[in-house]
Every structure is written in C-alpha cells, then in structure tokens.
C-alpha cells in the first residue's frame, strides 16, 4: 500500500507551494523530486515517474516552484528556485520519518537541485538524481551550466538520453569523468530530453520509465555502502 498525501511547503519570503508525498509501504529512500521548466509536478511524466519509483521502494516528494504554483510561464530567479528546493528538502526530512534522502528532478528541477547542493542548502541529502540534465539550450552547446557541479559534495546520477538536444554527450561525458567517482552516467539509448525513444529501439516509453526507476533504486543502494 502506498501513502499519498498533499502538503504545503513554506517558502521564505513567499506564500508557499503545493507538494505531493508518495510513500510506498516498503520505502527505503525518499527522493525530493522537482519538475522541469515547462510543466508542474502533476505532469504525466512526473506522475508516471513517481509511480515507477514507488514500485522499486523509492518514495517521492514532488513539489511546485512558485511560478508554476501561481500559473506564470516564466521560471523564477535562480535564488527563488534554489530556496524552494531547500525548503522542499526540509519538508521531506520531516515527512519521511527517518528515510535517507535523495534530491533531484527533471531537467531544470535537477539543475536547481544541484545548484542548491553546491551552495550548501541541502543538509542531509545523500545523493542527487538528474532525469535529463540540461547542460545547454538546444543547438547552443556549452558547459557553463555544469560549472557548479565541482562544488557538489554528494554522489550524482545522470540519466541521459542519447538523443537529448539539451546535453551534447561529447560535452557531458568528459564532465562526468572529471567529477570522478561522484558521478555516474547512465545512457538511455535513442531517448530524447523527454525520454521518448525511437520505435526502432523496440522499447516503449513505459519500459524506459521502468529503467529510470530501477536504475535510481540500484544506484541508491550502492551509494548507501
């Protein structure tokens, strides 16, 4: 049986945001899961991912950023985004009843989680999971968005599609190598930034989601030592 509970997270200097806790009975981890720039926590991908993670013993705390909570289309300033990640981690620590914490998210949500970690705002988080790290804008290859990763103290899991237009693998692979044992890069063959795969792969999007969840769970057990 899975516990599903709606929460409200207080944000310093703001009115707070909505959150959704999903905790399976056999949960071994709690992942503080942020959404991407273009969709909120109830987007179909976020729902399916949370359900997949619950199936492998990883609970989730999904949450809104202020701009999505208020129905605005443009993301908040980075300072507001990282403060929201930090507040969500504190809320998860309280709601998770002792479960070890992970943090991360889809695209921008993952990047803001790592930015918050680099700034020392994620006390108690054991590792970060990126469901498509947005290394650069489409057709604008660069590595500036990864510069803060050297300051992230905990292990990081990069789940990346080989057709992701926001992460040139020729740039991302050397970055992960430079990060050393802190970084694990798992490539999803033929997947794009939304983790849609080509028909020729012989796989469905649902099977890819199951792989994302299973890889996250097995990686979490490894970093637990």
Range of the domain at 142: 2-223
Average pLDDT (95-114) is 96
Predicted confidence (pLDDT) at residue 18 exceeds the cutoff of 70? yes
Measure the CA angle with vertex 129, ends 127 and 134; round to 5°: 135
Q: What pLDDT score does 190 carry?
A: 96
Q: What pLDDT score does 14 carry?
A: 72
> In which band, very low, low, confident or very high, does the pLDDT at 225 lie, cut at 50, 70 and 90?
low
Percent of the chain residues topping a pLDDT of 70? 100
C-alpha dihedral, 11 to 49 to 200 to 174, nearest 10°: 50
Give the phi and the psi of residue 34 in degrees, each rounded to 5: -95, 145
| Residues with Cβ within 8 Å of residue 44, at least 6 apart in sequence | none
Tell me how many domains the chain contains: 1
Average pLDDT (148-167) is 98
CATH of the domain at 46: 3.40.50.1820
- 83-97 per-position pLDDT tens digit: 999 999 999 999 988
Predicted confidence (pLDDT) at residue 71 exceeds the cutoff of 90? yes
């Amino acid at each position: 049986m899975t516990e599903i509970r709606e929460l409200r997270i207080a944000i310093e200097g703001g009115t707070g945001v909505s959150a959704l806790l999903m905790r399976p009975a056999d949960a071994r981890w709690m992942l503080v899961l942020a959404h991407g720039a273009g969709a909120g926590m109830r987007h179909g991908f976020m729902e399916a991912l949370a359900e997949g993670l619950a199936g492998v013993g990883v609970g989730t705390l999904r949450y809104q950023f202020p701009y999505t909570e208020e129905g605005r289309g443009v993301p908040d300033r980075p300072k507001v985004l990282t403060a929201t990640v930090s507040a969500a981690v504190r809320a998860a620590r309280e709601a998770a009843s002792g479960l070890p914490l992970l943090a991360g998210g889809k695209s921008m949500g993952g990047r803001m989680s790592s930015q918050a970690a680099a700034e020392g705002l994620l006390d108690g988080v054991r590792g970060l999971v990126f469901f498509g790290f947005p290394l650069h804008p489409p057709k604008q290859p660069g590595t500036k968005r990864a510069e803060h990763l050297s300051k992230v103290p905990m292990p990081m899991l990069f789940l990346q599609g080989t057709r992701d237009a926001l992460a040139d693998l020729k740039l991302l692979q050397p970055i992960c190598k430079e990060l050393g044992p802190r970084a694990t890069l798992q490539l999803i063959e033929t997947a794009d930034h939304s983790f849609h795969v080509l028909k020729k792969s012989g796989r469905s999007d649902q099977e890819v989601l199951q792989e994302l969840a299973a890889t996250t769970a097995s990686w979490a057990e490894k970093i637990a030592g």
